[in-house]
Chains A and B, each alone.
Chain A
Amino acid sequence: MKRVLLIFSFLVFFTAGFSQLKTYNFDQLQPRLSTGSDSVYVVNFWATWCVPCVKELPEFEKINEVYSDKKVKVLLVSLDNPDHLESRVMPFIENHGLKSEIVLLDDPQSNRWIPMVDESWSGSIPATVIFTKESRSFHEKIFTYEELDAIVKSKLN
Chain B
Amino acid sequence: MKKLILFIAFALATVSLLNGQGYNVGDYATDFRLKNVDGNYVSMSDYPDAKGFIVVFTCNHCPYSVAYEDRKIEIHNKYREKGFPMIAINPNDPEAEPRDSYELMQVRASEKQFTFPYLLDDGQAVHPVYGATRTPHVYLLKREGSKYVVAYIGAIDDNYRDASAVEEHYLTDAIDALLEGRKPDPNFTRAIGCTIKYVEK
Contact = CB atoms under 8 A, between A and B. Distances in A.
B190 A108 contact: no
A77 to B, nearest CB: 11
B194 A111 contact: no
A105 to B, nearest CB: 9
Given A51-B97, A108-B165, A124 B159 contact: no
B191 to A, nearest CB: 5
Interface residues of A, number: 22
Interface string B110-123: 00000000000000
Nearest to B99: A51
Contacts of A45: 192
Nearest to B62: A49
B190 A52 contact: no
A111 B157 CA distance: 9
Contact of B190 (A49, A121, A125): A121
Interface in A16-74: 45, 49-52
Interface in B98-157: 133-134, 154-155
Contact of B134 (A49, A51, A81, A123): A123
B57 to A, nearest CB: 11
Nearest to A141: B195
A125 B194 contact: yes
Contacts, number: 63
A122 B162 CA distance: 22
Nearest to B165: A108
B195 A111 contact: no
Given A108-B160, A108-B165, A111-B154, A50 B194 contact: yes
Contact of B195 (A52, A79, A115): A52
A110 B191 contact: yes
Contacts of A79: 192
22 contacts: A45-B192, A49-B62, A49-B63, A51-B197, A52-B195, A52-B197, A81-B63, A108-B158, A108-B161, A109-B158, A110-B192, A111-B191, A115-B190, A123-B155, A123-B193, A124-B133, A124-B192, A124-B194, A125-B192, A125-B193, A125-B195, A140-B133
Nearest to A82: B161
Contacts of B160: 108
Given A115-B190, A124-B134, 8 more contacts: A50-B195, A51-B97, A51-B197, A108-B161, A108-B165, A110-B155, A110-B158, A125-B192
